[in-house]
Chain A
Amino acid sequence: GAGVSQTPSNKVTEKGKYVELRCDPISGHTALYWYRQSLGQGPEFLIYFQGTGAADDSGLPNDRFFAVRPEGSVSTLKIQRTERGDSAVYLCASSPSSGSAFREQFFGPGTRLTVL
């Protein structure tokens, strides 16, 4: 079946611009996560959705970052006034919400964001 998809695969923007990154989770997965991965590092948690609500956004670095999941499926990560330090691969993952599911998260290929 289809896995987690993310668009665009690559995004190049200029400092100060606004960007939106999209995630399509696996159908039926109620849990959705965003992570950020800098070069040579492991993914870093940003935000977790259970259904439509952001259950935990403690990983968002500052108020320039915001994410939504209005219908409990597709999610959009929004970054305002981008800075060069925002350059990274943004990964989305999804999972069912039961038992061991949180440990086996299904990741998309990521969106590589480059801020010039």
Chain B
Amino acid sequence: GESVGLHLPTLSVQEGDNSIINCAYSNSASDYFIWYKQESGKGPQFIIDIRSNMDKRQGQRVTVLLNKTVKHLSLQIAATQPGDSAVYFCAENKGGDYKLSFGAGTTVTVRA
């Protein structure tokens, strides 16, 4: 079965606010956790990843937090924009492996 999954299937956010997307995982053997964004009619697009020995990683307007104690992963998007409306997937990867195991996704809708 799937080893990653998301807490909420949908999230509505006011433009300009910060978004927090959550993901719970069960496979402690994963070496990396990755966030992908999928816009309607397109394939998933890589956003950011974090190694399992890290707690936090920042990118451009995004921050990923990893809490290994409770097996929880989150993606924070600062100053959410209309272009951030999409489905967000967390995925896991074992170091040296090539497969990505995806969760079910959270649909983020940005309100103007």
> Which A residues lie at the B interface, using CB under 8 A?
4, 31, 33, 35, 40-45, 48, 50, 55-56, 59, 91, 93, 100, 102-110
Please, which residues of chain A bring their CB within 8 A of the CB of B93? 102-103
Is the CB–CB distance between A48 and B98 below 8 Å? yes
From B34, B46, B105, give the contact of A41 (CB < 8 A). B105
Is the CB–CB distance between B41 and A104 below 8 Å? no
Distance of A35 Cα from B101 Cα, bound (Å): 10
Given A103-B32, A103-B34, A103-B93, do A33 and B98 touch, yes or no (CB 8 Å)?
Answer: yes
Please, which residues of chain B bring their CB within 8 A of the CB of A55? 98
With A48-B98, A93-B43, A105-B100 given, name 17 new contacts (CB 8 A). Answer: A42-B89, A42-B91, A42-B102, A42-B104, A43-B44, A43-B100, A45-B99, A45-B101, A48-B99, A50-B98, A103-B34, A103-B46, A105-B46, A107-B45, A108-B43, A109-B41, A109-B43
CB distance from B25 to the nearest CB of A (A): 13
- A-B CB contact pairs (8 Å), 28 listed: A4-B43, A33-B98, A41-B104, A42-B2, A42-B89, A42-B91, A42-B103, A42-B105, A43-B102, A45-B99, A45-B101, A48-B98, A50-B98, A91-B44, A93-B43, A102-B93, A102-B98, A104-B34, A104-B46, A104-B49, A105-B100, A107-B42, A107-B43, A107-B44, A107-B45, A109-B41, A109-B42, A109-B43
Please, which residues of chain B bring their CB within 8 A of the CB of A42? 2, 89, 91, 102-105
- Could you say which interface size class chain B belongs to? 20 to 34
> Which B residues lie at the A interface, using CB under 8 A?
2, 9, 32, 34, 41-46, 49, 89, 91, 93, 97-105
